[in-house]
Amino acid sequence: MKIKCIPCTLKKPVAVRLVKKFLAEIAKNHPKDFQKIQSKTTLIKRVPKKEIDIGTRGQVVEVDAEVSSEASWAGVFDDNQVEDVFKKVIVFIDETVKDSESMFVTIAHEFGHVCTTKKDLARRNAPSDEWASEATADWYVYKWGYGSISRKMNARYPRRLSHHGAMPGETLTDNGITYRLSKNFVYRNISEPFKSLAAKLKDRCLEFMSKSGMHI
């Protein structure tokens, strides 16, 4: 089976329907992103059971030009792979998910990875490559108009912070530095402003105490 000229081996009718819906909407509303998805995606297939068992709901795997599009899960991906180097990919979707909205957000998120560019990653200003990648994929989800569904799913199914990072408005701390994710999915260092404010308050207190003849 092919969906918008992309080979697909998903079996569950709901998964096929949601992929069709997503690709049709992107083709209509974001044709440049769709062209990228269509040119890069060699296959859409189900997540293997052993990966589902450890919580994997979706994955983008780069396929070497010499590797068949039917390549197995093992041996064709690198956990440190940065999405902007993707040329040809397999998109894995867990078609066993019962919540169709959750599956749809996963589909959008994984294709957000497919569309990621080096410039996208740099804009995130993230403390780690993994969080930059995840924030960029989420940025595409919001860009494509699925932000409200994503927010609802994140409230329903809490994210794994160590992998996904923050959502807009949330804060996280890495190596003693606190960041807040902006609505544009940019990580802002909010530790330095607080340190600067604290230093200014301390200086003013010391100045006041000096003028008042007080001693520490």
pLDDT attached to residue 197? 52
Give the global pTM: 0.79
- Region 17-35 average pLDDT: 97
Q: Is 70 exceeded by the pLDDT of residue 144?
A: yes
Task: Say how far apart CA 172 and CA 117 lie, in whole Å.
Answer: 24
For all residues of the chain together, what is the average pLDDT? 83
| Angstrom distances, CA of residue 38 to CA of 196, 200, 207 | 48, 54, 65
SS3 readout for the chain: CEECCEEECCCCHHHHHHHHHHHHHHHHHCHHHHHHHHHHEEEEEECCHHHHCCCCCEEEEECCCCCCCCCCCCCCCCCCCCHHHCCCEEEEECCCCCCHHHHHHHHHHHHHHHHCCHHHHHHCCCCCHHHHHHHHHHHHHHHCCCHHHHHHHHHHCCCCHHHHCCCCCCEEEECCEEEEECCCCCEEECHHHHHHHHHHHHHHHHHHHHHCCCCC
Each residue of 149-162: pLDDT tens digit?
999 998 888 777 77
- Region 207-211 average pLDDT: 58
- The percentage of the chain sitting over the pLDDT mark of 90, rounded to a whole number, equals 62
Q: Is 60 exceeded by the pLDDT of residue 97?
A: yes
Hunting for tokens 């040329």 — which residue is that? 87
Residues in a beta bridge with 109: none
- The percentage of the chain sitting over the pLDDT mark of 70, rounded to a whole number, equals 78
- Region 40-59 average pLDDT: 93
Q: Is 70 exceeded by the pLDDT of residue 194?
A: no
CA atoms within 13 A on the CB side of 206: 6
Q: Is 60 exceeded by the pLDDT of residue 76?
A: no
* pLDDT band with cut points at 50, 70 and 90 for residue 67: very low
